[in-house]
Amino acid sequence: MGKGAWAGLFMAVAVSVSTIAQAHFLSVDPKPPKAGDVFGFNRYDYANNNPVINIDPDGRYACGSDSKATCTQINGFVNTLHTAMGNLDPKSAAYSKLSAVSAHIGTLGDNNGVTLTAGSLGKNIIAQANSATMMTVDVKQAGSAAAMFKQYNPGMSSSKLTRAFGAEAVAHEGQHQLDFQNPAIGYPTDRSTEHTTEMNAYRTEIGVAQGLGVSNDLYAPGASAQDINARVNNAANTSTQYFCQSNGC
């Protein structure tokens, strides 16, 4: 954000913002309002009229964090997902799955209806699909997960490894969102459907690790397909069991 040529005004990437009396845009927000977004219909408001809690890095969406650094980290996870996909064989199944999630999530400010917001989640939970278009991301958990696997990735910096684990989680939850929109799967209500969507999500997540050459609890460069499949199935079983305990299936 740079200061404008006239007093009291600052230039955001997309629009001008007034700092006099009230913080609001002097031109309309380029992001159109969505159904259910009561703030979006005021085309001049900034960060949902709550600049203490929210920030709007480029005049296109409100990030649910009071830290611009946090929003930058989330965007870094998404960009790392796109990078991992680009490193895969375009003819591979991993590329196909990751490409679908990449297209679904999109890029910052593309107004595709998908929102990634910062939030605090449970231990070891980096991201969570709240709906088919809303995802919560806990950047602190990504750092914690990366630290646990640093010894298995000695050639990768902590920051790059954090982005890798964040990208894996976003890919996993993005696959859930695609499954939510799939009439053949939808929102899981029983053990079978939950296991199906978890298998899909873990297989998509592995695509990020493959594309970046990262070792985690599911994948390591050079691991056999049999070993990887067994780990994916075990992880899906564990997630399904947790889901059923919480939802009574």
Of 113 and 160, more confident: 160
Distance CA 141, CA 143 (A): 5
What is the pLDDT, as a whole number, of residue 49?
58
d(CA 137, CA 118): 5
Q: What SS3 state is found at 135?
A: strand
Beta carbons within 8 Å of 128's beta carbon, 6+ residues apart: 121, 135, 136, 173
Give percent of the chain with pLDDT exceeding 70.
72
- Residue 105 pLDDT grade (very low, low, confident, very high; cuts 50, 70, 90): confident
Residues of the chain by 3-state class (helix, strand, coil), percent to 5: 45, 10, 45
Q: ∠ CA 83-88-90 to the nearest 5 degrees? A: 115
pTM of the predicted protein model? 0.74
Over range 114-125, report the average pLDDT.
86
pLDDT of residue 22: 45
Rounded mean pLDDT, 194-222: 94
Is pLDDT above 70 for 41? no
137-162 pLDDT, tens per residue? 999 999 999 999 999 999 899 999 99
Distance CA 151, CA 149 (A): 5
Question: CA-CA distance, 170 to 142, in Å (whole number)?
Answer: 11
Binned at pLDDT 50, 70 and 90, residue 207 comes out as very high
- The DSSP string of 105-119 is H--TT--SS-EEEE-
Q: At residue 218, what are phi and psi to the nearest 5 degrees?
A: -110, -30
For the segment 202-219, the average pLDDT, to the nearest whole number, is 94
User: Which of 58-62, 178-182, 197-201 is least confident?
Assistant: 58-62
